[in-house]
Amino acid sequence: MSDTKKKPAVGIDLGTTYSVIAHINDVGRPETIPNAEGDLLTPSVVLFDGDEVIVGREANKARTTELENVADCPKRQIGNQVYDKVFGDRRYPPEALQGWILNKLKNDASRVAGNFKEAVITVPAYFDEVRRKATQDSGFIGGLDVLDIINEPTAAAVAYGYQAGWIDIEGRVDQPINVLVYDLGGGTFDVTVMEVGKDRFRTIATDGDMRLGGQDWDQRLIDHVSENFKNNYGVDPRTDSATLGKLLRDCKETKETLSTRSRAQIECSLGSSSLKTEVTRETFEDLTLDLLDRTDFTVRQTLKAAKMKWTDIDKVILVGGSTRMPAVREMLSSLSSQTPDSTLSPDEAVAHGAALRSAMLLHEGSSAFRPAEIKNVNSHSLGVVANEVETGTPKVVTLIPRNTPLPVVSRKTFKTHRQNQESVLLQIVEGESINPEDCAQLGRCAIWDLPGALDVGTLIEVKFAYEENGRLKVKVRIGGSTNKSFRYEIQRPNSLTEEQLASWQQYICGPDDS
Ligand code: ADP
Ligand code: MG
């Protein structure tokens, strides 16, 4: 057997709170690779300990004692120029922090899978193109060749498709089926409706709540216990950082306990005062009902966007550690009138799907897994800012509405508003509001060298081509006598240059790892 055929097929779920790495094992099944500490899940946390950088379990533990040296959830800040905390006197781009996490996963996994560089990394479906590119850069910094970036819900559907037997190994499905993926993790929530057909995974609609996850459920318990303590002793334990650190850890554990047991106790001590609070599952569910309702709302919105009813959904699949909470399962059972499928581990399904994708790409032709086609939609509307003719107020004009199947090309025509106008500034935005301030600024492109003597009302055609890989290309054509066209890749102020990427890679992986 040739070496290329035996390249390890590796997939990585680079999660907000936990990351998981998986490969296709000797018998052709996806399998999670434990890290050097023996855990399947690696906390996505980085600790700066003097000259040492520690990733994972120990870094996570240090959150309760030395939070100032800990970078947690860098994924939340991916797309920003720098992480918002300073360590020593240094600031780090989120890509570098994720690079350390990926490098640990890679090194730990190579003990089992053998040496490898290629891997598929997953991202949330709602990630815009800036954050996809930044994730790809994180992979490079961490010493990986990123084969593909695929959406987490798609990866989960791939894993279920192959392992739960909807699809046979030849890629056959009897009939296309509609799948709803409900993913509630530690810090984020998203819902995706997909169609799984022969050799094809097609996203139909996706939505999410970037600020909703298991941590919010933890916080409700912290508040409940703290209020109880305050009523007894008159002091708020949340004001003491060491006590708060301990509460964070204990309340998360208690929450997890309440998924299997119907009651649990949390002890809280501050100074010489100490109090045990008993929490039943029922109380916990009351305390967090509105959070669950928020997921219910997003699920309904997504179904609506997919133009479907519950009777159109053939399977509901559960992803993310927080879907272990019985209340989540009960809610989905009652909404969908079916038992959600949880045959695969909710923590591992995404990484397993990524490993399957990697096998499809690396071993094309020779793989047991036929390469499936993956069709995405854009998760946010894309447009430009233009001034309204009557009022002169800037507003967003959408070129590509959200949930449009990719690839797509869209054009809109605008008019110059001054005689002899010499320049056009095109501001590209992403978001659902017509107010530019409420949208994310993707970048801008300026045309300075318009041909002279353009009449007011000269037509300017803007063309957006959004590719399947989530990259956007922009073309501007000036009408009138000139018919000149300009092409732009968007300039992104926050992304790292080639030199910066190479230097971070050297710093994190060492000089021998190229
Ligand atoms: P992410 O995708 O955000 O990295 P995960 O899918 O790994 O996260 O989910 C992590 C979350 O799942 C944490 O908030 C954790 O407390 C929660 N979780 C894990 N196991 C359970 C459980 N048994 N009951 C409730 N929540 C759980
Ligand atoms: Mg996840």
CATH of the domain at 458: 2.60.34.10
Question: What's the CATH code of the domain at 123?
Answer: 3.30.420.40
Residue 309 annotated among the catalytic residues of the structure = no
Domain range for residue 40? Answer: 2-212+295-375
How many angstroms separate the CA atoms of 129 and 370, rounded? 27
Q: Catalytic residue at 75?
A: yes
Ligand in nearest proximity to the CA of 212: 1
Considering the domain architecture, whether residues 57 and 169 belong to the same structural domain is answered as yes
pLDDT exceeds 90 at position 112: yes
Looking at the predicted structure, is the pLDDT value of residue 1 above 50?
no
| 19 Cα nearest atom in ligand 1 | 4
Which residue of 12, 13, 16, 18 sits with most ligand 1 atoms within 8 Å of its CB, as the best mutation to test the pocket?
Answer: 18
| Inside any domain, residue 504 | no
Residues 309 and 330 in one domain: yes
Compute the distance between CA of residue 40 and CA of residue 321 in angstroms, rounded to an integer. Answer: 13
- 259 pLDDT band, cuts 50/70/90, is very high
| Residue 247 belongs to a domain | yes
Q: What is the dihedral of CA 165, 170, 175, 181, to 10 degrees?
A: 50
Annotated catalytic residue within 72, 108, 148, 183: 183
pLDDT at res. 492: 61
501 occurs within a structural domain: no
Mean pLDDT of the chain: 90
State which of 337, 352, 375 marks the end of a domain.
375
Average pLDDT for residues 107-129, to the nearest whole number?
Answer: 94
**Domain boundary residue among 375, 409, 439?**
375
Q: Looking at the structure, do residues 14 and 129 belong to the same domain, yes or no?
A: yes
> Which ligand sits closest to the CA of 124?
2
- Protein residues near ligand 2, an ion, with CB under 5 A: 15, 185
How much distance in Å is there from the Cα of 56 to the middle of ligand 1? 15
Asked whether residue 93 is assigned to any structural domain, the reply reads yes
CATH of the domain at 267: 3.90.640.10
Claim to verify: residue 439 and residue 460 sit in the same structural domain: yes
- Cα-to-centroid distance, 17 and ligand 1 (Å): 8
The C-alpha atoms of residue 209 and residue 190 are separated, in whole angstroms, by 6
Share of the chain above pLDDT 70, in %: 91
H/E stretch holding 376? none
| Residues flanking ligand 1, CB < 6 Å | 15-18, 185-188, 213-215, 252, 255-256, 259, 320-322, 324-325, 347
Which among 104, 79, 108, 81 has a CA at the least distance from the CA of 92?
81
SS3 content of the chain, % helix, strand, coil (to 5): 35, 30, 35
If one counts the domains in the chain, the total is 3
Q: Are residues 326 and 339 in the same domain?
A: yes
| 169 has a pLDDT exceeding 70 | no
Q: Do 238 and 320 share a domain, yes or no?
A: no
Evaluate whether residue 395 is within a structural domain: yes
Nearest-CA residue for ligand 1 atom 22 is: 256
Q: Are residues 345 and 475 in the same domain?
A: no
What is the tens place of the pLDDT at every residue in 194-219? 999 877 899 999 998 888 999 999 99
Structural domain ending residue among the three candidates 347, 375, 403: 375
What's the confidence (pLDDT) of residue 64?
Answer: 84
Q: Are residues 324 and 472 in the same domain?
A: no
Q: Specify whether 170 is catalytic.
A: no
Residue of higher predicted confidence among 422 and 273: 273
Quick check: 507 pLDDT over 90? yes
pLDDT higher than 50, residue 2 = no
| Residue 115 counted as domain residue | yes
Catalytic residue status for 152: yes
Shared domain for 328 and 454, answered yes or no, is no
Given a cut of 50, whether residue 97 has pLDDT beyond it is: yes
Does 173 lie in the same domain as 88? yes
Atom 24 in ligand 1: residue holding the nearest Cα: 256
Confidence check: pLDDT of 4 > 50 = no
| Spatial CA neighbour of 328 closest among 318, 315, 337 | 318
**Judgement on whether residues 414 and 336 belong to the same structural domain of the protein:** no
Task: Judge whether 403 lies within some domain.
Answer: yes
Query: Most confidently modeled of 4-13, 170-179, 294-303, 404-413?
Result: 294-303
Q: What is the pLDDT of residues 10-47, one digit of tens each?
A: 999 999 999 999 999 998 899 999 999 999 999 999 99
Give the pLDDT mean for 381-395: 85
**% of the chain exceeding 90 in pLDDT:** 67
pLDDT score for 495: 79
Q: What is the pLDDT of residues 409-419, one digit of tens each?
A: 999 998 887 78
488 Cα: distance to centroid of ligand 2 (angstroms): 34
Q: How far apart are CA 396 and CA 417, in angstroms?
A: 17
Claim to verify: residue 269 and residue 402 sit in the same structural domain: no
Residue 495 domain flag: no
Poorest-pLDDT segment among 143-152, 296-305, 376-385 = 376-385
